[in-house]
Amino acid sequence: MVIVMEKHAAEEKIERVVAELIARGFDVHRSTGSDQTVLGVVGDVANVDTREFELFDGVQEVVRVSEPYKLTSRTFKRESSVIDARGVRIGGDEVVIMAGPCTIESEHQVFETARRVARAGARVLRGGAYKPRTSPYAFQGMGLDGLKILRAAGDECDMATVSEVMEISQIEGMLPYVDILQVGARNMQNFNLLAALGQVRKPVLLKRGMSATIQEWLLAAEYIMAGGNYDVILCERGIRTFETYTRNTLDISAIPVIHKLSHLPIIGDPSHASGRRNKVAPLARAIVAAGGDGVLIEVHYDPEKAVCDGPQSLYPEQFARLMDELRIIVPAVGRTI
């Protein structure tokens, strides 16, 4: 932490700040310029509220210089993490494609879709059984019955499975059926849920909150890791901005930024970011070209019939064509698919 005193701050004001810092057990390093003094504070400042010092008379600015996250940081772990989900390795050489329907509707729908995406090259099968809906009057998902279907289809097609968990009480029941537990954007700061997932020994796919900064996102991952579960996969799915033409604004820059700050893998979700089928392929290609470790895509064997988010679901043939395009791109980022 660095405390910048106002120009020509009286010596006694400076000393009052220094005294408080020492009283709290910090080492203080004082740097006196011709007209301004700066105090360097060394020690465990993670829990200090910098504003307390801003309010001292004579203080111009307080700057926190250490990152508040630890376990997620590349400073803590230099080499990139590779996370294993039933044999699928996320964060390694291979760009991993996760595909499937938004919502699990029926056995027929899941198996039909799973076979098509597996054949095209997807490695993880997605499908929602518990659905966060903004309206209380909308369909809320099939629950456990849906997850059993997902598991069976995943087994038949040799795919790992991923599905969203909304509530602590659902975790236990999901474990037999799901290889990756997904936390949705709206729950990114549901701290009780994050802490509970820290006790689980399965990978967690953590979506970025709609208005979460990259730092808040890493701190949410820290909640899970602090409990002992180190297998966190980050997923960029678009942030909320003033632009309303697209549902959200995919923050493509988050991919190189996360790779610099953290050792955790990051994938992208072009379906929720755009909300429209015809924008999904361009965004998926961009995610891979920017260096993403994977893509999470909604595909439905018959999107017209989808109960939810049909308009953003790809047709199986569109998905197969997209996979061909991604195969062209991956050598440009030194990856395989």
Compare residues 115 and 240 and give the one whose CB is closer to a second copy. 240
Compare residues 86 and 173 and give the one whose CB is closer to a second copy. 173
Our finding on whether 332 is near a second copy (CB under 8 A) is yes
Q: Are strands 83-85 and 88-90 parallel, antiparallel or unpaired?
A: antiparallel
Our finding on whether 202 is near a second copy (CB under 8 A) is no
Compare residues 150 and 194 and give the one whose CB is closer to a second copy. 194
Residue 33 Cβ vs a second copy, minimum distance, rounded to whole Å: 3
DSSP for 117-130, please give it: HHHHT--EEE-BSS
Our finding on whether 199 is near a second copy (CB under 8 A) is no
Binding a second copy by CB under 8 A: which of 190, 229, 262, 271? 190
Mention every residue, 6+ apart, whose C-beta is less than 8 A from residue 36: 4, 5, 6, 7, 8, 9
Applying CB under 8 A, which part among 107-115, 148-156, 174-182, 245-253 lies near a second copy? 245-253
Q: CB of 234 within 8 A of CB of 258? A: yes
Decide: helix, strand or coil at residue 85. strand
Among the listed residues 215, 205, 270, 204, the one whose alpha carbon sits nearest the alpha carbon of residue 237: 270
Binding a second copy by CB under 8 A: which of 24, 108, 119, 186? 186
Residue 152 Cβ vs a second copy, minimum distance, rounded to whole Å: 27
Give residues 215-244 in contact with a second copy (rule: CB under 8 A): 215-216, 219, 222-223, 226, 239-244
Compare residues 48 and 152 and give the one whose CB is closer to a second copy. 48
Binding a second copy by CB under 8 A: which of 84, 106, 189, 315? 189
Q: CB of 189 within 8 A of CB of 218? A: no
- The mark string for 130-169 relative to a second copy (x by CB under 8 A, - otherwise) is --xxxxxxxx--------------------------xxxx
Our finding on whether 279 is near a second copy (CB under 8 A) is yes
> Which amino acid does the sequence have at 256?
P
Compare residues 87 and 199 and give the one whose CB is closer to a second copy. 199
The residue behind tokens 């926190």 is 64
Tell me the site size for a second copy, rule CB under 8 A: 109
Radius of gyration of the chain (CA): 23
- On the CB side of 201, CA atoms within 13 Å amount to 0
Our finding on whether 256 is near a second copy (CB under 8 A) is yes
Binding a second copy by CB under 8 A: which of 179, 293, 298, 309? 309
Compare residues 12 and 136 and give the one whose CB is closer to a second copy. 136
**Nearest 5°: CA angle at 30, between 27 and 34?**
175
Binding a second copy by CB under 8 A: which of 18, 82, 210, 320? 210
Compare residues 81 and 103 and give the one whose CB is closer to a second copy. 103
Structure tokens at 164: 């969203």
- Phi, psi for residue 248 in degrees, rounded to 5: -140, 170
Q: 310 exposed, middle or buried (CB, 10 Å; 0-12, 13-18, 19+)?
A: middle
Give residues 81-120 in contact with a second copy (rule: CB under 8 A): none
Give residues 5-64 in contact with a second copy (rule: CB under 8 A): 6-7, 27, 29-36, 38, 40, 42, 46-47, 49, 51-52, 54-55, 60-61, 63
* CB neighbour burial string for 3-42, b if at least 16 within 10 angstroms, e if fewer: bbbbeebeeebbeebbeebeeeebebeeeeeeeebbbebe
- Phi, psi for residue 136 in degrees, rounded to 5: -70, -10
Residue 330 Cβ vs a second copy, minimum distance, rounded to whole Å: 9
Structure tokens at 4: 């910048």
